[in-house]
């Protein structure tokens, strides 16, 4: 299956008065159409590139946002969950743990 070349005419072309004008019209039909097609494809490619860059920027921006919600889970001696709750805001440590260090000799 071959694609048919579209016949795009924006205005009626007058009959050429000279052989030079006839050659110019043939040249415009032969070279002008591929140039216009190349320009349209180039415009589409740059549009897609711009869209891809915007989408990548949006993904980077969205991934930089923190959306983690902490929960406090209370577990009994048997390992069963006894309570689950969100911690109160702006809480500090409740007890000070001794700092332990291990040095390899």
pTM over cut 0.95: no
Q: Greater confidence, 104 or 65?
A: 65
Does some domain include residue 48?
yes
User: In this predicted model, what pLDDT tens digit does every residue of 77-102 receive, in sequence order?
Assistant: 888 888 888 877 766 666 766 666 66
Characterize 23-48 residue by residue with b for buried, 16 or more Cβ atoms within 10 angstroms of its Cβ, and e for exposed.
Answer: eeeeeeeeeeeeeeeeeeeeeeeeee
Please name which of 70, 65, 104, 61 lies closest in space to residue 88, comparing C-alpha atoms. 70
Does some domain include residue 95?
no
Does some domain include residue 27?
yes
Does some domain include residue 25?
yes
Q: Looking at the predicted structure, is the pLDDT value of residue 29 above 70?
A: yes
Does some domain include residue 2?
no
Q: Domain of 47?
A: 17-65
d(CA 97, CA 74): 19
| Domain count along the chain | 1
Does some domain include residue 26?
yes
Does some domain include residue 10?
no
Does some domain include residue 30?
yes
Mean pLDDT, residues 25-54: 91
């Amino acid at each position: 299956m071959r694609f048919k070349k579209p016949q795009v005419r924006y205005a009626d072309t007058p009959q050429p008065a000279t052989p030079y004008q006839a050659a110019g019209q043939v040249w415009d039909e032969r070279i002008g159409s591929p140039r216009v097609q190349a320009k349209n494809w180039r415009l589409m490619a740059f549009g897609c590139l711009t869209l891809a860059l915007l989408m990548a920027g949006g993904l980077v921006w969205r991934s930089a946002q923190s959306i983690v919600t902490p929960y406090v889970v209370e577990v009994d001696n048997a390992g069963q969950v006894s309570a689950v709750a969100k911690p109160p805001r702006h809480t500090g440590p409740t007890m000070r743990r001794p700092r332990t260090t291990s040095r390899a000799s």
